[in-house]
């Protein structure tokens, strides 16, 4: 009985970490692409751009694989009657919504602070995309 609980706990924690890695990677990748497309990058920062691109792609790929594999196993466990009633499943969803809400609120606060301080448009991209990713996770 306790091994099932520990297994479920591991699956949901790993799925949560994988989803957050994916969200951060997608947000950073979208920020980089928008900055490059709009010409907001500093001249001579090619090595920085390559490092940011590598980290963003790695976060997205590893996070998506981690989340997908563990979520598939969690869904298989949830197909059983006792897995559907598991309190850890509800705790996972509550933790996911809480983290997405915190990301949404901090991104919105940073965005509003930068707008009110009169920051340039390229500095608004990162908090805006962070807010959008948090909102998408919250909505789904």
Q: Tell me, what's the pLDDT at 8?
A: 87
Number of C-beta neighbours around residue 77 at 10 A:
19
| pLDDT tens-digit readout, 37-67 | 776 655 556 667 788 889 999 999 999 999 9
CA distance 47 to 12: 36
- pTM of the predicted model, to two decimals? 0.76
CB-based burial label for 78 (10 Å; 0-12, 13-18, 19+): middle
Structure tokens at 129: 């995309």
Q: Tell me, what's the pLDDT at 41?
A: 57
Q: Tell me, what's the pLDDT at 33?
A: 83
Degrees to nearest 5, angle at CA 56 with 24 and 58: 105
- Name the helix (H) or strand (E) containing 98: helix 87-116
Q: Tell me, what's the pLDDT at 121?
A: 63
16, 88 Cβ separation under 8 angstroms = no
134, 107 Cβ separation under 8 angstroms = yes
Q: Tell me, what's the pLDDT at 65?
A: 95
- The low-confidence residues of the chain, meaning pLDDT below 50, are none
């Amino acid at each position: 009985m306790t091994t099932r609980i520990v297994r479920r706990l591991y699956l949901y924690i790993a799925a949560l970490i994988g989803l957050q890695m994916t969200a951060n990677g997608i947000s950073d990748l979208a920020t980089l692409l928008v900055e490059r497309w709009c010409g907001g990058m500093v001249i001579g920062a090619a090595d920085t751009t390559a490092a940011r691109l590598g980290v963003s792609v790695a976060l997205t790929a590893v996070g998506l694989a981690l989340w997908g594999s563990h979520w598939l196993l969690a869904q298989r466990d949830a197909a059983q009657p006792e897995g559907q009633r598991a309190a850890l499943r509800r705790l996972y969803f509550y933790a996911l919504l809480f983290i997405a809400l915190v990301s949404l609120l901090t991104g919105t606060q940073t965005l509003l602070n930068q707008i009110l301080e009169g920051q340039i448009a390229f500095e608004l991209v990162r908090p805006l995309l962070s807010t959008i990713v948090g909102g998408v996770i919250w909505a789904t």
